Chains A and B, each alone.
Chain A
Amino acid sequence: MTDEVQGIYHDKLVIRLIQFSVVWAVVAMTVGVYLAAELIWPTIDFGQFWLSFGRLRPLHTNGIIFGFGVSALMATGFYSVQRTSHVSLFAPRLAWFCCYAWQLIVFLGGLSLLAGWTSTKEYAELEWPFDIAITIVWVCFGIVFFGTIATRKIKPIYISNWFYGALIIVISMLHIVNNLAIPVSIGKSYSFYAGAQDAVVQWWYGHNAVGFLLTGGFLGMMYYFLPKIAGRPIWSYRLSIVAFWAFTYSYIWAGPHHLHFSAIPEWVQSLAMGMSLILLAPSWASMINGIMTVSTAWEKLRTDPALKFIVLSLAFYGLATFEGPMMAIRSVNIVSHFTDWTIGHVHSGALGWNAMVTYGTFYFMVPRLVGAPLYSVKMADLHFWMALAGTMLYVVSMWAAGVSQGLLWLSVDEFGELSFSFTDIMASMAPYYGLRLVAGLIFLTGTVLMALNLFMTMKGRQAVEVKVTPVDPAYGVA
């Protein structure tokens, strides 16, 4: 905490958060690979309750979203908000508190999941003591972030900050409402809502945690770092404004498409389907804006692994945000729901978009933060191809598995009898699950390469002290 000198960006904190983020990526992806193996060899939990699939899977998802994802969002958010506001971080001690308190929540929360403490609500599995702790840290995150914006030296608030801002605000709203519960003991509580109502509240949360954290938060990352790395201004500032408000307005409606043909009222399902289709427009607006920004800097793709990762991430972002609305159409959802297609969809987003945009950003930031070139550009190039191969193989194998499951489950013969038993369909998934395991291993190996590469780049080096850049008086705060 010695970097509290006036006029210097607080970058030590950023480095620490990047380190935590990379550690969580490796840990949570390793858990994911292990889970993929358990679906092929179910006895490799060795009769240990804490290795059991049902307890390990939420550890995988929470580790990725809250460990890897949120640490990366805090790191990139703190880095970019200082630079776009031309001021050092507001309340830096509070920011350090956010950093460490958050890691403690992820670590202890992970252990609590293995102990069987779970609310069952997807991406909100952590029990009430953690929910309270998350709320406190999240409010502190908001104070630091919006405090920095409020004390900025330049008039306009740059677009990336709106997305980070929406992440902080909307996630707090969703988190508090969805987790309301009556505690029974330290690791058990009962939801305020029951049955169909609980389902609607949960998927309002669950869908928008994906929306405002994994989509919106990471769009903030894209809007700051892509123009920086490409060395071009954002293609259309006006388009980014329209996309932002349309995204913030329409995403929130789409949650009940997770509950098609369930016991919730049909009007909610239809409304969610309609809004999901509309959502395609603002989602793609940001993708087009990003791609057009790079359009005069394509030659940099040949030399800069950071830019390669981010441009590829936009392609997967486009794929996932197209696939999502398609799966929200009720007649498509009949086939896709409850199958591995959903798992494939999530991973085209999580591996292809979230992980890759973060990897690109980290390859860009770390050398600048420590003032040294990347340890090995070759290794980063290799990582790029492994990430692409891993993601493609993952997504394709899960498409095949998911579409087969969906169609085989629904198949009836001419007498109206089921054509296949559940067990036979499940057993026929083994080859796809095998491919998925290989895909996960490739992606994980690439991530480990990056961890090594970044470690060697940072090794023995300190954060460079970067002075706050002065503002052109024409745009300065009066």
Chain B
Amino acid sequence: MSGMSLHKKFEENTGLLIFGILFVSSIGGLVQILPILNQKSLETPAANTRVYDAVELTGRDIYIREGCHVCHSQQIRPLIAEIERYGPYSRAGEFVYDRPFLWGSKRTGPDLHRVGGKFSDQWHRLHLINPRDVIEKSIMPAYPWLADRDASQAGNITGKLKALRILGHPYTDKDIESADARLVGLKEIDALIIYLQMLGTGFSEEES
């Protein structure tokens, strides 16, 4: 049993055991993750996909802060019923400016990847302040505080755009300089609605 005697070495040597675990557990990651991180098509924006502007990004970060992704996915699968219910299935190119990705893992509420333009701003406002005012049976929490807080207080928008520029998002100096001014007068709920209304609009049927 030479296999067993080889194994005896791992069994009796702490360093070898650590090395063995590290080596064996890395293989799968290296084979799967490295090609994905180097696949250019996953980093190429779809035709109508652009970076989030200062207001949309603020809205997106409010969506994250409130944990909307816990109950809503943003990932439409290429299945007839899903396309019927939510719209064209999601393409990788639509997510290239999503840090982090918000595909979600649970649909307690419906998918939101193409919710943009489906409801009016006023509907969203009523729905966010008290969901049961517009959908009687809804079990979504109410978010009344969003209407009271100023969007400019939701985070350092200039710093955010600068950080994303380091990561390769094409923001111009003008985008960054004007960011603060764009949030003036907006409540958090306004920024969130503007984000929701642009969701899924980064794709055109023609390109596919």
A42 CA to B138 CA, complexed, in Å? 8
Does chain A have a CB within 8 A of B185? no
A405 to B64, CA, bound (A): 25
A-chain residues with CB within 8 Å of residue B102 when the two chains form the complex: 120
A264 vs B33: C-alpha distance when bound (angstroms)? 11
Contact-residue bracket for chain A? 35 or more
B39 at the interface (CB under 8 A from A): yes
Q: Counting CB contacts under 8 A, is A1 at the interface?
A: no
**In the assembled complex, B18 has its CB within 8 A of some CB on chain A:** yes
Which of B66, B85, B141 touches A38 (beta carbons < 8 Å)?
A: B141
One of A19-27, A129-137, A250-258, A357-365 contacting the partner? A250-258
Digit string of A244-267 for contact with B (CB within 8 Å is 1, else 0)?
010011111101101111111100
Chain B residues near A170 (CB-CB < 8 A): 21, 25
A188 adjacent to B160 (CB under 8 Å): yes
Bound CA span A261–B76, Å = 9
Cβ A194 vs Cβ B98 within 8 A: yes
- Interface residue tally for chain B (C-beta within 8 Å): 83
Partner of A47, one of B61, B92, B100, B144: B144
**Minimum Cβ distance to chain A for residue B93 (Å):** 8
> What separation, in Å, do the CA atoms of A343 and B144 have in the docked complex?
28
Q: What is the CA–CA distance of A272 and B31 in the complex, to the nearest angstrom?
A: 11
Whether A194 and B96, one on each chain, are in contact in the complex, defined by CB atoms closer than 8 angstroms, is yes
Which of A155, A165, A188 has a CB less than 8 Å from the CB of B18? A165
Kindly identify, within residues 147 to 204 of chain B, every residue whose CB is under 8 Å from any CB belonging to chain A: 155-156, 159-160, 163-164, 166-167
A417 beta carbon closer than 8 Å to chain B? yes
B145 on the A face (CB < 8 A): yes
**A423-B163 contact, Cβ under 8 Å, with A52-B66, A54-B66, A165-B18:** no
In the bound assembly, the distance between CA atoms of A245 and B145 in angstroms comes to 52
Per the bound structure, the CA–CA distance linking A184 and B57 in Å amounts to: 13
For chain A, residues 382 to 417, give those with C-beta under 8 angstroms from any C-beta of chain B. 405, 409-412, 416-417
Contact B70 A53 (CB under 8 A): yes
- Interface flag for A182 (CB, 8 Å): yes
Tally inter-chain residue pairs, CB-CB below 8 A.
253
Q: Are A250 and B92 in contact (CB under 8 A)?
A: no
- Which among A195, A337, A417, A418 is the interface contact of B101 at CB below 8 angstroms? A195
Q: Which residue of A lies closest to B78 (CB)?
A: A261
B32 lies within 8 A of A253 (CB) = yes
Q: Answer whether residue A121 sits at the interface, using C-beta atoms and an 8 A cutoff.
A: yes
Please report the C-alpha to C-alpha distance between residue A227 and residue B64 in the assembled complex, in whole angstroms. Answer: 46
Q: How far is the CB of A197 from chain B (nearest CB, A)?
A: 6
CB neighbours of A405 from chain B (8 A): 107
A262 B28 Cβ-Cβ under 8 A = no
When distances are taken between beta carbons in the complex, the residues of chain A under 8 Å from B159 are: 184-185
Contact across chains for A204 and B29 when beta carbons are under 8 A apart = yes
The residue in chain A whose Cβ has the minimal distance to the Cβ of B161 is A184
Which positions 141-180 of chain A face chain B at CB distance < 8 Å? 146, 149-150, 155-157, 162, 165-166, 169-170, 173, 177
Q: Are A198 and B101 in contact (CB under 8 A)?
A: yes
The answer to whether the Cβ of B114 comes within 8 Å of any Cβ in the partner chain is no
Contact residue among A182, A238, A265 (Cβ-Cβ distance under 8 Å from B166) = A182
Cross-chain pairs A/B with CB under 8 angstroms, 26 sampled? A39-B139, A40-B139, A47-B145, A52-B143, A165-B17, A166-B21, A182-B163, A182-B166, A185-B156, A188-B160, A194-B96, A194-B101, A195-B96, A200-B32, A252-B29, A256-B32, A262-B77, A264-B92, A265-B36, A272-B32, A275-B28, A343-B106, A416-B80, A418-B81, A418-B85, A422-B85
Interface residues, chain A, CB within 8 Å of chain B?
38-40, 42-43, 45, 47, 49, 52-55, 57-58, 116-122, 146, 149-150, 155-157, 162, 165-166, 169-170, 173, 177, 182-185, 188-202, 204, 212, 238, 241, 245, 248-253, 255-256, 258-265, 268, 271-272, 275, 334, 337-340, 342-343, 405, 409-412, 416-418, 422-424, 426-427
Taking Cβ atoms with an 8 Å cutoff, the residues of B that contact A are 4, 7, 11-12, 14, 17-18, 20-22, 24-29, 31-33, 36-37, 39, 42-43, 61, 64-71, 73, 75, 77-82, 84-85, 90-92, 94-110, 131-132, 135, 137-145, 155-156, 159-160, 163-164, 166-167
